[in-house]
């Protein structure tokens, strides 16, 4: 199947700093990528949909100025958590769509564990 990588796999930062997470589709081009957040023992919560070359679409309740998303190429999307606080500590997972439309399939990255002290 298609491979999606994420970097870094984990990060620890101080409160108030910004953290950038990269999501790459390694063997396919992805016009659409998604960013999720997952708290312990909970389901995946969609934060935003990222389309290459256009602005991301954020889910209700997700602050777009705090979670900056850039999808500059067909293989790379980045999520920047600005001015991170302890409540932002979570498991962040990206996914990328392989294929197009009705027949496409969504593949997930390995996730990034963010801990804000």
Partner 1 sequence: GENVEQHPSTLSVQEGDSAVIKCTYSDSASNYFPWYKQELGKRPQLIIDIRSNVGEKKDQRIAVTLNKTAKHFSLHITETQPEDSAVYFCAATARGVNAGGTSYGKLTFGQGTILTVHP
Both tokens assigned to 83: 């001015």
- Distance, in Å, from the CA atom of 47 to the CA atom of 84, rounded to the nearest integer, reads 16
**Smallest distance from the beta carbon of 106 to partner 1, in angstroms?**
6
Cβ contact 117:86 at 8 Å: yes
Is 53 or 86 the residue whose CB approaches partner 1 more closely? 53
Write out the residues near partner 1 by the rule CB under 8 A: 1, 31-32, 34, 42-44, 46, 49, 51-52, 91, 93, 97, 99-102, 104-111, 113
Is 58 or 78 the residue whose CB approaches partner 1 more closely? 58
Q: Which of 80, 37, 74 is nearest to 54 (CA)?
A: 74
**Smallest distance from the beta carbon of 16 to partner 1, in angstroms?**
27
**Smallest distance from the beta carbon of 9 to partner 1, in angstroms?**
10
Strands 57-58 and 105-108, bridge-based pairing: unpaired
Is 86 or 102 the residue whose CB approaches partner 1 more closely? 102
């Amino acid at each position: 199947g298609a491979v999606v990588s994420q970097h870094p796999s984990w990060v620890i930062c101080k409160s108030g700093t910004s953290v950038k997470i990269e999501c790459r589709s390694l063997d396919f081009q992805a016009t659409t990528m998604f960013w999720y957040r997952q708290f312990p023992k909970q389901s995946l919560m969609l934060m935003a949909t990222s389309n290459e070359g256009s602005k991301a679409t954020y889910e209700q309740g997700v602050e777009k100025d705090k979670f900056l998303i850039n999808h500059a190429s067909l293989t790379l999307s980045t999520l920047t958590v600005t001015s991170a606080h302890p409540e932002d500590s979570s498991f962040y997972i990206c996914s990328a769509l392989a294929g197009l439309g009705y027949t496409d399939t969504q593949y997930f990255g390995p996730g990034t564990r963010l801990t804000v002290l």
